[in-house]
Structure 1
């Protein structure tokens, strides 16, 4: 791991960072000459640091702070090792880390460990999820009083219109996207296709599928840091907030997944376009947990502006074949690649918690052999369906009262997330809408 710094002597400082519950990187700046100590011994900071609110403040009534003396955890490097940080001016390396107790036990309040625990359940059954995510984001000029599309570096103009699947829109920001793909290659983030989306200055980039869901979450987390940092170098902002513009669709983070058995066979494939009983059981598990998991898929006040009828985001709990109005879509294509697309999450999610919630729910369904209702046809918005919580408070209540969520997440993580969201909800209510947007624009 330390060989990276020996091969890159121009790197003078490193960042060591872990994801908190909101997906914010928390950590330290360290001179590279002391990197050996971090790699060998880890570093330390309080357990409470992974349980801060969106402003980076302590949770007022958290037992992790004064009640326990604000004790330390030990943070050790993940398997990813050192990565360049191409959005910074000075050559710098990032070392992703995750948290453990002093005795070596994983810290249950770490979102990366939450996903690892779900994957351990799959591994115990000889199963391996294959995962890909699609990330939507906005490029934004936030230099004035109102958010706007950035001026095109090519034309010098500001085009205030939706540009769905527009090559012109991609070309207007070609230098940014060229730098972004170069940076993804340097960081070994498997960025694939880019398209322009329906919102003002909105784009989507797909990350390639792989059979390491923990790495897929790492990729999504790192990609969000990269996009936001690199956009600032180009003179504008990039944001994954769910809905920056009232009159346009928001940003999602759709997840595609299948599951392999020990021999590498797709356990959803029965040689047909419909998929088999195991796939239906996984769908049922996802549907069963969807209402109570809304706090994971829509974790912020702004998230619920996206989840409205007719806005290209699902509101009803349903599944369908090749239907993008449903919350769960079974894409067409080769039966060998039979998979489930989960379409609920906003771009503002923590990728570790999101994948843990989706994969954990799917495995619950497989273990319980639940059958889903019949797949819908037509426009899901026009059907009489059970709906997702329509506001933040209802999502918090559903998460807290759920009997499904404790099958997926550890009690400490559930407690910490609830305390965090209750505190954020209290203080967000004191802010004007413009102040709320300012908070979410650069954080989520």
Structure 2
């Protein structure tokens, strides 16, 4: 009887739709949805067919205006907005005028109602329920494939697909191709006509050759690479290839039927050797090993027995790498093999090294800036100069996904 009296008092002062009425008494009628609760309360209070109530029902709801009664329109807005996207789960949020929330707070305070969910939660809950059934997908709060936010002021739906992650390996069989795209010197990455508004130079790179096929495959807006190590522009990458992760943003396609086709699209001086879609965000701190071969010139001749000391000094040993302005890192040299000491003057040295990933190969060989200690130049007591046309080649990168 007490709630019936409150319903009567409430409806005498405020025109409310069934959902907004039922939501104020949801704790007492938990088995019903808000609209059904509102209809039952109105009927129990004997206010269903009175002339006053019929007149009041013609007025916009004091709390939501016509928001909840316009649910079908917003359902169509979402359905049209997500056309063309591939997804199996969705979550829909909403931006509603703050005045709606304030009106509900005012009404509850004045009428001393505990209420339940807010009008926004009510609206988005119904929207998720109806849309998910309509499209045959799951309404999921935790990592949905696609997120839609409705702006009820301007009837606009903003669609944000969840990024997906790709693992792959590439080989590089031609020197002179950098790994990363260079920022446009004209606009410094801001985007200008010279760089086609991309912010990047149009010159060749591994990143550029991989990006376009991935963007086309997933019909995506952007791709961002995380490389497991890097090589010089004039180095080759051979063997199984260098591993990388790619974050594919704004994908319209999540499960392409022709995933391997991207390997055919990236085939030549830069070739894609492996590609797979990952289940989640990849770990960024997993270790890997690198096997490389280098050709270096020494400033003084050196006997083969002296050079062989390199194998003893470094195989199984740890070196310390101290990049400028950063903390020191310890890297292990798993194996160092002197393949040959060449030239009549015994000044050309060919090495094969297996080491932890992330080691600066150039500085390990030359001792440049003393950033890696000990280093080859230090142990030989000779100046080591790399052949800049072919400084070192990556023979293999050991890494398990």
State the TM-score bracket (shorter-chain normalisation).
under 0.3
Greater strand fraction, Structure 1 or Structure 2: 2
Greater helix fraction, Structure 1 or Structure 2: 1
* Higher RCO (CA-CA < 8 Å; seq separation 6+): 1
Q: TM-score, normalised by structure 1?
A: 0.24
